[in-house]
Amino acid sequence: MILLGSTGSIGVNTLEVAKKFDIDVEVLVAGKNIKLLNEQIKSHMPKVVVVADEEDISKVNHSNVYAGQENILKVIEDSSSELVVNALVGFLGLRPTLTSLSAGKKIALANKESLVACGNFIDTSKIQPIDSEHFGLWYLMQDRPISKMIITASGGAFRDWDIDKLKNATLADTQKHPNWSMGQKITIDSATMVNKMFELLEARWLFGEGKNGVMEFDAIIETKSLIHALIDFKDGSTTAHFAHANMQLPIAYALDKKMNENILGHVDLLEVANLEFRKIEKNRYPVWEIKEDLLKNPNMGVVINAANEVAIEKFINKEIGFMDISKTIIEAYERYSHMPKSVEDVFEIDAEVRKSI
């Protein structure tokens, strides 16, 4: 397989599963964590390695190293691997997704932005999602009419904060996730609830009208992150997917659909004792104001993604406050009304939105 984003948490878990299933890793693509990359090279002996910056090539313990996005795309096209695991963060993960599909490869997708920004122009039949929420929905689906699909949220770093204090939240505050440790951007996205907006859009493209006929999608907070997805069937019954929060389970199914192996220990409900569910409130998560309209106009995902990436960068640089991230996204969403009609439009609108913020 080709692994894009090998040194992130999903990449690390993917390599654990690859080792378990004895899957060859042909290509490793990584960012700046060269120390970890060198350990991965020693363990998995890829044929090709690609890093983000040319200046890091000499630090990589491999004879076949390239740098930059153009080389990522070339390596995908030249590779004999049939599977690409895309765990890159942000809009820069879109071109590798499109290139992989053009090359006839199957994609295990963790790069949310690919579907959020460009879902209308992507053949989702070639995609196996490895977000735990979409995996949960996929796992629960049966040949029965579905009324609604529901995913869960942890609530992020500020789910228990006094709302009046949110405007003073710092970058360090956003990283104190109540349930686990993730990368910087996704932890901020969890705190704003943008992450869950993205996942609802992904669910819409993966399971929505025209594929399984599902028209309604929603999210709720489940504070222990043991339930990842629920499905309301038209007959009035609801099923839920329980599992410990561990990315290796969805990754394992993406790498081996038969999956006869034990990956996780079961959730002991007696040990859990109780679960707490909360509504996602707009005063705590202002971006939720546009959720319903966005799901009706999913092509606008490119706008909210671009606005979010720029706003996060400004927040990190202390140019805006935490609550201004959602404000920036909503303003961009309300300002732009033209939707992309092609892949080229997606890239043009993305650039246009970024320039305007």
Averaged over 244-257, what is the pLDDT? Answer: 87
- Residues 209-238 have pLDDT tens digits of 655 667 899 999 999 999 999 999 999 999
Residue carrying structure tokens 């009609």: 341
Q: How far apart are CA 260 and CA 241, in angstroms?
A: 18
Tokens of 65: 């190293």
- Residues 311-330 have pLDDT tens digits of 999 999 999 999 999 999 99
What pLDDT band is residue 103 in, cutting at 50, 70 and 90?
A: very high
Where do you find CATH 3.40.50.720 in the chain?
Answer: 2-129
For the domain covering 2-129, report its CATH number.
3.40.50.720
Q: What is the pLDDT of residue 75?
A: 98
Where do you find CATH 1.10.1740.10 in the chain?
Answer: 133-356
Averaged pLDDT of the chain? 94
Q: List the strands of the sheet with 277-278, edge to edge.
A: 238-242, 227-233, 146-153, 217-222, 277-278
Quick one: CATH architecture of 133-356? Orthogonal Bundle (1.10)
Q: Percentage of the chain surpassing pLDDT 90?
A: 88
Residue 276: exposed, middle, or buried by beta-carbon count in 10 A (0-12, 13-18, 19+)?
Answer: exposed
Residue 2: exposed, middle, or buried by beta-carbon count in 10 A (0-12, 13-18, 19+)?
Answer: buried
